[in-house]
Chain A
Amino acid sequence: MTEIIKSVVCPICGCLCDDLEVTVENNEIVKMKNGCAVCEAKMVHGYKSDERILEPHIRKNGKLVPVSMDEAIYKAAQILTDAKYPLLFGWTSSASETQHVGVELAEELGCALDNCCSVCHGPSVMAIQEIGIPTATLGQIRHRADLLVYWACDPWSAHPRHVERYTAFTDGRFEKSEFKEYVQKLKGKASKKKVEAAIRRTQVRYQPPPRPQTAIVEAPPPTLAKTGRKMIVFDVKKTMTAEVADYFVQVEPNSDYEIFGAMRCLVNDQEIDVDKVGGVPVEYLKEIVDAMVNADFGAIFFGLGLTQSVGRFRNIEIAIAMTRDLNRKTKFVISPMRGHFNVTGANTVFAWQTGYPFALDFSQGYPQYNPGEFTANDLLRRGDNDATLVISADPGAHFPKSSIQNMMKHPLITINPDWNAISRLGDVVFPAQWCGIEQAGTAYRMDSVAISLKKVVEAPKGVPSDEEIIKRILNKVRVIKAQKTRKDVTETKNVENKKI
């Protein structure tokens, strides 16, 4: 039986493209239209991998052995209630419905709760809490932006359809796609073969081999002054996105803060006394700022290159401050390129239930927020928590060794669809459905628009959703806690009786 399902949402990156056409045959995705290569890799192939966890496991005598769901749930609940201060971490590849129960579980346990935001755009969130942010939904940018700036991010590889769906290569009501012009531009530059290769690249999106570093920043091209859509890329290396941009500015590593500072001065009509900032001649920056001020609508997108380099949240803060100042002259917005498809949802759901987007603690009975204190890596590095639950994330592959070492000193529960690095380390390992493929739910796009994920195939038999697992753990935790208090009460009674 073949079924074609339309308007399927891609559960991979923060773009949450919702126009996929998926062909399902015998409960298997066999074809996918409209998605990018990354999407195809997961939706058509990846999710079926042999590395799939098909049943719960518990580590017994050092070895993971399959157990029943009931046993695993009980064990997990026991670990969490026995621990003084567990940490619940991950959540960003789960639906918001799961995240929702997660907060309740953390509250019940009085423990720490954090999501992957703390290792990606946490600094962006903190910067926003410092000074706010002028931003817009992606469609607003698609319709209106005539100047697009990508800063320290490479959508071409990390958010492959961002440019074609939302920015430079899409037709908006007031701004038309520059895709054709881009092809023209290439034609002027190169032979036919090269053009074909480039067009193929835009379709197949293959990763080009790394380019040799060029230290010199080229002068801004005259196109920067033209009307119509323009794209500028700031980065430390020439990425594929930089390749298709009208102008690429190669900045010295860790100099973003200075460059923003200089540009902010220029936006505010102040003079700068140096020739170069961060490797970029000030006269070029002037031309860039002119283009920004003269734009009808400008948009800046920034990535982890900004949040994870020297300056961290201060980089974002000054980027936002510059954008804010630009709004005195024209319209400008700025937006983080959120990575995992529902990291924005994790922030959103946590915030509406507790007021805080990540780095949470419930040990006092009420929510507390402190990045640096309750963020997963900081807790782990200090060895503060004595049990960890990881859900829909793989810190095994991304966290520093010291954090993982401390994590391993205490029981670890994992909930993931496949045997990723962290699942292999778990003491209780749950299987889970692929959210957005086998499980419906809600995700929040990088611009905070809620989109409904679809279920297109059935999960393997016996593999529950992570929402169900968290709910069952929560119920079990409540049962165990109730038993404990009853026991405590009888014990104290016994003590009192003895006294008498």
Chain B
Amino acid sequence: MTEILIKNGFVVDPLNKIDCQKMDIAIKNGRIVEKVNEREAKIIDASGLTVMAGGVDLHSHIAGSEVNLGRMLRPDDHVKDAVRKTALTRAGTGYSIPSTYVTGYRYSKMGYTTVMNPSMAAMKAKHAHEELNDIPLIDKASFTLLGDWWFALENIAKGDLVECARHIAWMIRATRSYAIKIVNPGGLESWGFGRNVHSIDDKVPNFDLTPRDIITGLAKVNTMLNMPHTIHLHTNNLGVPGNYKTAIETMQALESVYTGDKPIGHITHIQFCSFAGDNWAHFKSGAAEIANYLNAHNHMTIDIGQVTFADTTTMTADGPFEFSLYELGGHNKWVNSDVETESSGGIIPFHFKKKNAVNAIQWSIGLELSLMVKDPWKVAMTTDHPNGGPFYHYPRVFAWLYSRKAREATLKKCNKKAQRKSLLPTLDREYTLYELAIITRAGTAKMLGLKNKGHIGIGAEADVAIYNINPNTTDIAQDYKPVRKAFSNAIYTIKDGEIVVKDKELVTIRPGRTMWLDVQTKEPCRIDDELKRKFKEYWTIEFDNYPVTDHYIKVPEKITIQASV
């Protein structure tokens, strides 16, 4: 292992409370260390540059059945973004749903080193892992869709949360997953017969419970299992005008589970559930209401799902949402993909346009939320790739956040009605580099419970990004364009102590790890018998053939968790 010394950079490391301090970062054996032998170490002169931990993305659809169906669906998307093979790298395509290798390359070039794949149907987990193996350079993990899984619903309905927890633990292990994902709880099961739920207190057909029961039940289960991340929640009524109320009700429902130490729920791509107004004609932002709630409560975290005005592809396990999006008209392709016993899914290509009032308001909502929620540790920057826009548009989002000038420039080009309705002109806040580091690595790593990521203190994994930004000489809010450019291509990216990007070019291709949780419950076995008996009834795969085996993960990182049940 080579030793590396990054000298004289401006270090931005919020988890260690370091804000643009000129200091050296030493790397040895894939870790950040106190010091290295200067004569033997490889020296990177970072004077005038910003040094951060590698980016940690907590929500980006990069692999699996749904993503790949999206790829297959859109030759029109790829043809405009072909990527040539080089001596070092594989060929591939973009645009909104890049092929696996290209996904790894582009993340790495942006200085990102860890990405969460947030929506994995359990039954299709092998597929997701096969694809993750083909995404080089970044560490990754997947969240299993469990909010409409029959075993969970039945146990919650029975009121047996301990049993539910054991089942979930089994499933997390069987699918090699990292967190509990809940999507439109109860809605996906209803969608099995073409219906949906419309409030957190609607009854789920054929099951004796409500979305509220599922959300609070799984939040409790999550605590019992000592999961590093909270439940990862895509709310009911996503994409429906007036749904900010549902989002707030959902957060209120979780208040009772909060014990006061750390957050117990994460609402993902909250932009899509911060809509006010009773219908599309009266569509407006509900960001203020959501932000006020979050500013007054500490049990929730969010990510944004920022719209970037791209010709992109929406994809979610929320099948009924995609169908209602299709019904809004103007779309020529619609995919629905139900998964027995567990989940559903939908895909629609979608072009977010500045001149469209609703799209422009959505763009504004995302930024309003990021700016109005005061504590950046509660916020994660995402575009819900590819839903709001492809991940490599992140630097655009950064610019809108750190530069009022940047967002005004974009707002000026937006639909007039949207301009009038936007709260952005009233918001002066401009993110600092420190805050930006929080919402892109430090905070996200914290939300995920990844102790060795998101910072570059001693002992951390040596995932480092070096950007061509000189905080001493640059007014980032004014000179937002060069800074944006700097973020879109790191000068150096270091992964596990190895330089993978140098002078903005990929120089080494190495596989990333796939993290997964081995959740050990005190009494694990009872569920296996029941699972076996029910398996034949519930699924069309045999019990023995269901779990993801070691074969499917090339570079695993097993994290063992002791559950409290």
Contact = CB atoms under 8 A, between A and B. Distances in A.
Contacts of B551: 440, 452
A367 B333 contact: no
29 contacts: A18-B545, A104-B90, A131-B333, A132-B333, A133-B336, A135-B335, A136-B337, A143-B340, A173-B538, A327-B336, A351-B71, A351-B99, A352-B99, A354-B91, A354-B92, A355-B78, A355-B97, A357-B72, A362-B91, A364-B82, A365-B91, A366-B83, A366-B85, A366-B92, A367-B93, A448-B127, A448-B337, A450-B126, A452-B551
B82 A366 contact: yes
B106 to A, nearest CB: 14
A140 B92 contact: no
A338 interface: no
A7 interface: yes
Contacts of A452: 126, 545, 549, 551
A324 B92 contact: no
B446 to A, nearest CB: 31
Contacts of B340: 136-140, 142-143
A142 B339 CA distance: 11
A269 B90 CA distance: 51
Given A355-B75, A355-B99, A331 B337 contact: no
Interface in B104-132: 123-124, 126-127, 130-131
B91 A107 contact: yes
A369 B131 CA distance: 21
B485 to A, nearest CB: 25
B295 interface: no
Contacts of A353: 90, 92, 99-101, 134
A131 B333 CA distance: 4
Pairs A-B, 8 closest by C-beta atoms: A139-B340, A331-B194, A136-B338, A355-B93, A450-B126, A132-B333, A134-B336, A366-B82
A397 B298 CA distance: 68
Nearest to A368: B82
A163 interface: no
Given A9-B545, A142-B340, A367-B92, A448 B193 contact: no
A348 interface: yes
A134 B124 contact: no
B332 A131 contact: yes
A353 B69 CA distance: 13
B73 interface: yes
Interface stretch (A58-66, A122-130, A381-389): A122-130
B72 to A, nearest CB: 5
A96 B133 CA distance: 13
B452 to A, nearest CB: 29
B226 interface: no
Interface string A302-338: 0000000000000000000000100110110100000
Contacts of A238: none
Highest count of chain B CB atoms <10 Å: which of A130, A369, A442, A449:
A449
A449 B75 contact: no
Contacts of A134: 334-336
Nearest to A320: B334
Given A129-B72, A134-B335, A144 B192 contact: yes
Contacts of A301: none
A166 interface: yes
Contacts of B92: 353-355, 366-367
A348 B68 contact: yes
Contacts, number: 189
Interface string B535-552: 001111111110001011
A107 B79 CA distance: 17
A296 B93 contact: no
B84 interface: yes
B469 interface: no
Highest count of chain B CB atoms <10 Å: which of A6, A9, A333, A351:
A351
Contacts of A139: 340-341, 538-540
Contact of A448 (B124, B191, B194): B124
A91 interface: no
A330 B71 contact: no
Nearest to B95: A355
B334 A140 contact: no
B30 to A, nearest CB: 28
A444 interface: yes
B65 interface: yes
B206 A365 contact: no
Nearest to B70: A351
B169 to A, nearest CB: 22
Nearest to B133: A100
A450 B547 CA distance: 11
A165 interface: yes
A353 B83 CA distance: 11
